[in-house]
Amino acid sequence: MPDLLSLFLAKYNYWVVIFLMMIGLYAMMAKNNLVKKIIGMNIFQTAVILFYVSIATKHDASIPIIGHGHNGHHAIHAADYMNPLPHVLMLTAIVVSVATLGVALALAVKAYQQHDTLEEDEIIEQLKTDYLSQQ
Amino acid sequence: MITIISIKPLIAILVSLLVIPILASSRKPNVREAWTFAAALIKFGIIASMVPAVLAGHTLELTIVPFFEGIDFKLRVDAFGLLFALVSSFLWIVTSAYSIGYMRGLDEHSQTRYFCFFAAALSATVGVAFSANLLTMYIFYEILSLSTYPLVTHHQDPEARSSGRKYLLYIMGGSIGLVLPAMVAVYLMTGTLDFASGGIFSGGLAFAQALPLLLMFVFGFSKAAVMPMHAWLPAAMVAPTPVSALLHAVAVVKVGVFCVFRVITGLFGPDLLQALDFGTLLCVIAAITILVSSLIALSQDNLKRRLAFSTIGQLSYIVLGAALLSKSGMTGGMLHIAMHAFGKITLFFCAGAIVVATGIKNISEMVGIGKQMPLTMAAFFIGSLSVIGLPPCGGFISKWHLAIGTIEAEQFTMLAVLLISSLLNAAYFLPIVYRAFFCTEAESMFENQFKEAPGWCLAPLLATAVISVLLFFYPQPFLTLSQLAVSRILGG
Amino acid sequence: MSAQFPALIIIVPLLAALFVNIAGWIRRSLCFPTALAALVVSFLSAVGLMGRVMADGDVIYRMAGWDPPWGIALHIDHLNGIILILISLVAILNLIAHRTSAASQFTNRLGAFYALYLLFVTGLMGIVITGDTFNLYVLLEISSLSGYALLGMGGGRATLSSLHYLFLGTIGASFYLLGIGYLYIVTGSLNMVDIAGILPALENVAPVKVSFILCLVGLFIKMALFPLHTWLPNAYSHAPNPAASLIAPLTTKVMIYIMIRLILTVYQPDFAFIQMEIAEFIQWLAVIAIIAGSILAYKQNRLKRMLSYIIVVEVGYMVGGFWLGNAAGMTGAVLHVLNDAMMTLCVFLAAGAVMSRVQFDEFKHLQGLFGKMPYTMIAFVVGALSIIGVPPTCGFFSKWYLISGGINAGHYAFVAALIISSLVNVLLFFRVIEISYFEPFANHHHSHNHHAESLFQEASLDMLVPLLVTAGLLIAMGIYAHILVTQFIEPAVLPSLMGSL
C-alpha cells in the first residue's frame, strides 16, 4: 500500500494530467450542450499543456529567467533553472487551444442561430425533420 | 529471324483512336461514315503491309514506356497476332458498310456515339493482337470491355441496362477478380510478363501453383465465354446486330480466346502444360462448353441467341485447339479464329438483314423466307456450312486440322466431341435453311416476291459469304501465318 | 532566390492570406488573382525544390539561421518534395475550378473564404516540409482549424458536422502532441533526424512505445482510419463544394504522410515493424477498413457521401499497404497517396460540376447527365476507372504494387480485400453511371438530334478545364507511373527500409 501511494506521489503530475484528460473526454462525449462539450475539449487540451509544463521542472530549480544581465560572461548552471523549452512550446499550444476554442464557439454560435438551441439532441432532431421534409 | 523496331503496330492501333474526334464533330452522317471507312482502310492497309515481313519470319516490335521493373508497354507483331489483326481490321471495313445499312434502315439514335466507340473498340482489339506481354494485353482488354459497354447498351432501355450489368459483371469481374491477381502472382514469380515461346516459367512450376493460376486465367478472360463464364454473351444480343456481328462473333470473343491462347502458349508453354498433364484438363473444360452450348443452341428460337450459343461452342474449339498442345491442333485453333470469323459474321449479317427487311427475330417465324430473301438465305447457308465445317467452306480446313490435332495428341475422346458437335451444329443450322427454302405454299409465311434487305446490308454479307468459300480453296495468308506461329511455339 | 524556396513555399501563401482578407473588404475581384498568384509561387518553388533534391540530395533549410536541434529545420527529401508539388497542384486546380461557384456561394465572405483556403494550404505545405515534430503540430492545427472553418461555411448540416470534426480532430492532434511530449522527455529533442539518432541507444523503451502509440492513434483519428472515421462522411458530404473538393483529396493523405514520415525517419522501420509488434494488428485493421468502407459506401444514395466512404476505403489501402512492411507495399502506399489525391480531386470536382447544374446530389437527380454534361461525365468516368483500378489510369499501378506487397508478405486477406473492393467500386460507380446514362427511359429508338442539342447544359468553362486536366493527369500519371516510382518514390522509401530492416 505505501508503495502504491509513493508511486502515486512520485508521479502525481502524470496522474493529474490523466485525470483532467478523462474529465475532458467525458464532457465531450456525455454532455449534451455544445458549450459544455467545448469546455470539455478545452479541459482536454489543458491537460496536455499541463503535462508539458510539468515535465519542465527540476529539483530546487527556479523560473527560467536570468535576473541580472551579465553580458553572457557568467556561466549559467542549467540545473538551477527550469527547462524553458516546454514552456515556450506550450505558449504556442495555448494559442492553438485558444484558436480552436474560437472556431468551436463560432460554430456553436452559428448552430444556435440556425436552430435556436445549443442542445445537441434537439439540433439533431431538427435536422432529421428538415431532412425528411426535404425528401 | 530478326526483330524489326517499327512504329507500324502503334500507328495501326492509333488510327482508329485518332479518328474519333473527327467522327464526334462531324455534322453530316455521310462525312462521318466516309471517315470511318477511311480509318478502316488505312488500318487494314498498315496491318497488311506488315504481312511480308512476318511471313519472312521476322517480328516487329516497339517499346513505348516501362511500366514496372521488367515489364514495358510493349507491342510485338508476330504471326499469331498478325492473323488476328488482319481478320479484325478487314471485317471492320465490311461491318462499317453493313452498319450504314442497318442503322439507317432502322433509323437508330446516337449513331455518332456508336461509330466512335466502335472505332475505339477496334483500336483495343488490334492492341490486344499486338501486345508483347500480359500486362499490355490486359490494358487493351480492359479498354475493350469499357468501349464496348456503350455499344452493347446502345438502346438504353431497361433490357439494355440489365444486359449491360451482366456484361460488366462477368467481364470486369473476371478480369479484376481473377486475371489481375493471377497476373501479379506470375510477375512476382518470374519477374517478367513477356510472352515467350517456351513459356516464362523457366524454373518449372509446381502443380499446386500452376493449377489455380491456369484456371484463373482461363475463366478470368471471360470474353472467351468458357462455361460458366458465358452468360454475358446471349444477354449481349440486345445490341444492334452489327455490334453483335463484329464484336461478339469476331472481335470481343476472339480477343478472349486469343488471350487464353497466348497464356497457354506464351506464358505457360506447351512443355510445362504437357508435363503437368493440364492439356487433358483444358480439353475437358473446352469439351464441356462445346457440347453444352450446342445442346442449348438447339432449344433457342431467337435467331441471334441461337447464333450466340453457337459462338460459345465455336470459341471453345479454339481453346480446344490450344489445349491439344499438338501441331495440327494449335494450327487448327488459330485458323479457326479466321474461318469462324468469316462464317459467323455472315450469319449475323443475315440475321440483321432479316430484321431490317421484315422485322422478324425468331426462327419459327422464318418459314418460307427464302422466297422473299433468296440471296440472304443463300449466304446464310454458306455461313452455316462454314461453321459446321463442311466443304467447300473455309471452316472445313480449320476443323480438319483440329481433328488431325486430336489424333496427334492421342485425345480420341476429343475427336468424338468434335464429330458430335459438328452434327449438333448441323442440327441447329440446316433446318433453318431448309424451312426457309423448302416449304409448301400453305406453310410459307411470306409472299413469293423478291424483297431483299437494303444494298448496304446485302453487299457485305454476300462478300463475307464468298470469302468463306474462297478461303476453302485458298486459305492464305492465314494458314501460313498459323503454321509459322505454331512452329515458333513448339520449336521453342 | 532558389535557396529560399522552402521558406517561400510557406510564407507566400501565409502572407497572401492576410492580403486576401483585406482585399476582400476593398474589392472582391482582387481575391481570386491574389490567391492564385500565391499558390502558383508555391507550386513553382516546390518544383524548383524538387529539382534541387533530385540533383543534390536532401535539402535542409534552417529557419532564421538557427541550427537544429535548437532551431527549426525544414527538411526536404524525395518523399515530401513530390507531395509538396501535389498539394500545390491540387490547390491550384481546385481554386480555378471553383472560382465562380465560390463567388456565388460566399459573396459577402469571399475574402474570408480565400484567406482560409490559403491558410489551409499553408498548413499542409508546412506539415509536409517541416523537420521538427512540434512545428508539425502547430502547422497541423493551422490546417485543421482552417479546415473546420471552411467545412462549416455551408449552412444546414455543415455546422454540426464541422463541430464534430473539430472535436475529434482536436483529440487526435492532442494525442499527437502528447506523443511527441513523451518523445521529448526521453530524447530532449524536437528535431526529427536528431531524435532518430538518439532513439536506438535508449535503454528505457517504454516511453518511446507509448509515444508511438499515442502519435499513431492521433494520426489514425485524423486520417479517418476505420473505426475512427466517423467524422469524415458527414464533414465532407455536407460541406460546400469549393471546400470539400480542396479538403477531401488532401487532408487524409497528408496525415498518412505524417505517419510515414514518423515511421521512416523518426522511429525507424525496425522499431515500428518489429519491436512494436503491432504491424499485423494494423494490417488486419486496414482489411476491415477496406471491407467496412466498401459496404458503407454501397449503402449510400448520395454521390458525395458515397465518395466520402470511398476515401475511407482508400485510407485502408494506404495504411494496410504501408504496414505490410515490404518495399512493394510501401511503394504502393506512397504511390497511392499521390494517385488518390488526384483521383479524389477528379471525382469531387466532377460532383461539384454536376451540383452546379443539378442542385442536389441524390442519385435520383443524376438522370440523363451523360446527355446534359458529357464532358463532366467523361472526366467522372476516368476518375471512377482510376478508383476501380483499370489501366492505364494511375489507380491501377498503385493497386499493382499493393497487391504485390500483399502477396510478398503472404497476407492474402489484404489482397482479397483489395480485389473485392475493386469489384465493389465497379458496382458503386456503374450504379451512378447507369443512372446518368440510361435514365430517364424514353423512346430512344428514333434519332432525335434536335433533342440532344437542347439538353446540353455543361458546367462552366473554369470548372470544366481543371476537371479535364485532372482526368488527363490521371492517365498521364498512370502511363508514366514507372518514372514516378523510380525517380521519386523508391529513393524516398527504399533507403530507410534497407538501412533498417
- Per-residue pLDDT tens over the stretch C445-496: 444 444 455 567 787 888 899 999 999 999 999 999 888 888 888 888 888 7
What are the domain boundaries of chain C? Answer: 279-501
Looking at residue B312, its amino acid is I
SS3 of C379-423: the string is HHHHHHHHHHCCCCCHHHHHHHHHHHHHHHHCCHHHHHHHHHHHH
Identify which of B75, B30, B79, B74 has the alpha carbon closest to the alpha carbon of residue B52. B79
Looking at residue C238, its amino acid is H
Neighbour tally for C440: CB within 10 Å: 9
Instruction: Give me B489's grid cell.
Output: 511455339
User: Cβ contacts (< 8 Å) between B180 and chain C: which residues?
Assistant: 389, 403, 419, 422
Edge-first strand order for the sheet with B3-5 is B3-5, B59-68, B71-77
Cβ distance of A48 and C160 shorter than 8 Å: no
More reliable by pLDDT, B455 or C297: C297
The pLDDT tens digits for B337-390 are 988 998 899 998 888 888 888 888 888 888 878 878 888 888 999 999 998 888
Q: Is the pLDDT of residue C382 over 70?
A: yes
Cis peptide bond N-terminal to C495, omega within 30: no
User: Cβ contacts (< 8 Å) between C480 and chain B: which residues?
Assistant: 65
User: Cβ contacts (< 8 Å) between B160 and chain C: which residues?
Assistant: 438
More reliable by pLDDT, C335 or B480: C335
pLDDT attached to residue C445: 47
Are C479 and B73 spatial neighbours (Cβ–Cβ below 8 Å)?
A: yes
Neighbours of chain B (3+ CB pairs under 8 A): C
**Residue carrying the nine cell digits 506521489:** A9
User: Cβ contacts (< 8 Å) between A124 and chain C: which residues?
Assistant: 160
Q: For C400-406, what is the mean pLDDT? A: 94
pLDDT attached to residue C373: 86
Cis peptide bond N-terminal to C440, omega within 30: yes
Are B416 and B422 spatial neighbours (Cβ–Cβ below 8 Å)?
A: no
Residues 6+ positions from A115 with CB-CB distance below 8 Å: A122, A123, A126
Neighbour tally for A133: CB within 10 Å: 7
A-C interface (Cβ pairs under 8 Å ≥ 3) = yes
Which of A95, A110, A132 is the best residue to mutate to test the C interface, defined by the most C CB atoms within 10 Å of its own CB?
A110
User: Cβ contacts (< 8 Å) between B102 and chain C: which residues?
Assistant: none
What are C302's strand-pairing partners? C362
Interface of chain C toward chain A, CB-CB under 8 angstroms: 134, 137-138, 141, 145, 148-149, 152, 155-157, 159-160, 162-163, 166-167, 170-171, 174, 177-178, 181, 184-185, 190
Q: Is the pLDDT of residue C369 over 50?
A: yes
pLDDT attached to residue C443: 47
Min distance B139 CA to chain C CA atoms (Å): 5
Interface of chain A toward chain C, CB-CB under 8 angstroms: 25, 28, 34, 37, 41, 44-45, 48, 51-52, 55, 85-86, 89, 92-93, 96, 99-100, 103-104, 106-108, 110-111, 114, 120, 123-124, 127, 130-131
Q: For A65-89, what is the mean pLDDT? A: 77
- Could you tell me where the beta strands, DSSP code E, fall in C229-299? none
What are B62's strand-pairing partners? B75
Min distance C482 CA to chain B CA atoms (Å): 5
pLDDT attached to residue C391: 87
Q: Which domains does chain A have, with CATH numbers?
A: 2-60+79-134 (1.10.287.3510)
Give the C-alpha separation, C406 to C416, whole Å. 9
Give the C-alpha separation, C241 to C151, whole Å. 9
User: Cβ contacts (< 8 Å) between A37 and chain C: which residues?
Assistant: 167
pLDDT attached to residue C450: 43
Q: Which of A85, A86, A108 sits opposite C163 (nearest CB)?
A: A108
pLDDT attached to residue A38: 96
In terms of CA atoms, which chain B residue is nearest residue C385? Answer: B146
Complex ipTM value: 0.92
DSSP state of A14: H
Angle, alpha carbons C410-C334-C347 (nearest 5°):
110
pLDDT attached to residue A71: 63
C-B interface (Cβ pairs under 8 Å ≥ 3) = yes
Exposed, middle or buried by CB within 10 Å (0-12, 13-18, 19+), for B276? middle
pTM of the model: 0.91
Give the C-alpha separation, B342 to B90, whole Å. 10
In which band, very low, low, confident or very high, does the pLDDT at B70 lie, cut at 50, 70 and 90? confident
Q: Which of A37, A48, A86 sits opposite C167 (nearest CB)?
A: A37
Looking at residue B222, its amino acid is S
pLDDT attached to residue B447: 67
More reliable by pLDDT, B453 or B124: B124
In which band, very low, low, confident or very high, does the pLDDT at A74 lie, cut at 50, 70 and 90? low
In which band, very low, low, confident or very high, does the pLDDT at C142 lie, cut at 50, 70 and 90? very high
Are B132 and B79 spatial neighbours (Cβ–Cβ below 8 Å)?
A: no
Give the C-alpha separation, B433 to B384, whole Å. 9
Sign of the CA dihedral with B97 first, then B100, B103, and B104 last: negative
A4 phi, psi to nearest 5 deg:
-65, -45
What are C191's strand-pairing partners? C132
* 3-class state of residue C96 by DSSP: helix
Cβ distance of A99 and C137 shorter than 8 Å: no
Min distance C264 CA to chain B CA atoms (Å): 24
Longest C-alpha distance within chain B, in Å?
Answer: 72
Q: Which of C391, C444, C480 sits opposite B109 (nearest CB)?
A: C444
Looking at residue B87, its amino acid is V
Q: Is the pLDDT of residue C184 over 50?
A: yes
Give the C-alpha separation, C195 to C184, whole Å. 9
- Length reported for chain C: 501
Identify which of B159, B250, B146 has the alpha carbon closest to the alpha carbon of residue C381. B146
Cβ distance of A55 and C167 shorter than 8 Å: no
Residues of chain B by 3-state class (helix, strand, coil), percent to 5 = 75, 5, 20
pLDDT, mean over chain C: 89
Q: For C220-234, what is the mean pLDDT? A: 93
User: Cβ contacts (< 8 Å) between C184 and chain A: which residues?
Assistant: 55, 86
In terms of CA atoms, which chain A residue is nearest residue C155? Answer: A114
In terms of CA atoms, which chain B residue is nearest residue C394? Answer: B67
More reliable by pLDDT, B489 or B281: B281
**CB-based burial, B400-434: b 16+ in 10 Å, e otherwise:** ebbbbbbeebebeebbebbeebbebbbebbeebbe
Instruction: Give me C66's grid cell.
Output: 538557427
Q: For A84-108, what is the mean pLDDT? A: 94
Looking at residue A82, its amino acid is M
* 3-class state of residue B95 by DSSP: helix
Identify which of B128, B174, B170, B179 has the alpha carbon closest to the alpha carbon of residue B149. B170
Give the C-alpha separation, B289 to B295, whole Å. 10
**Residue carrying the nine cell digits 488459330:** B334
Neighbour tally for B49: CB within 10 Å: 11
Q: For C9-13, what is the mean pLDDT? A: 92
The pLDDT tens digits for C298-357 are 999 889 999 999 999 999 999 999 999 888 999 999 999 999 999 999 999 999 999 888
Instruction: Give me B313's grid cell.
Output: 461452342
pLDDT attached to residue B454: 77
pLDDT attached to residue C447: 45
Which of B142, B148, B161, B176 is the best residue to mutate to test the C interface, defined by the most C CB atoms within 10 Å of its own CB?
B176
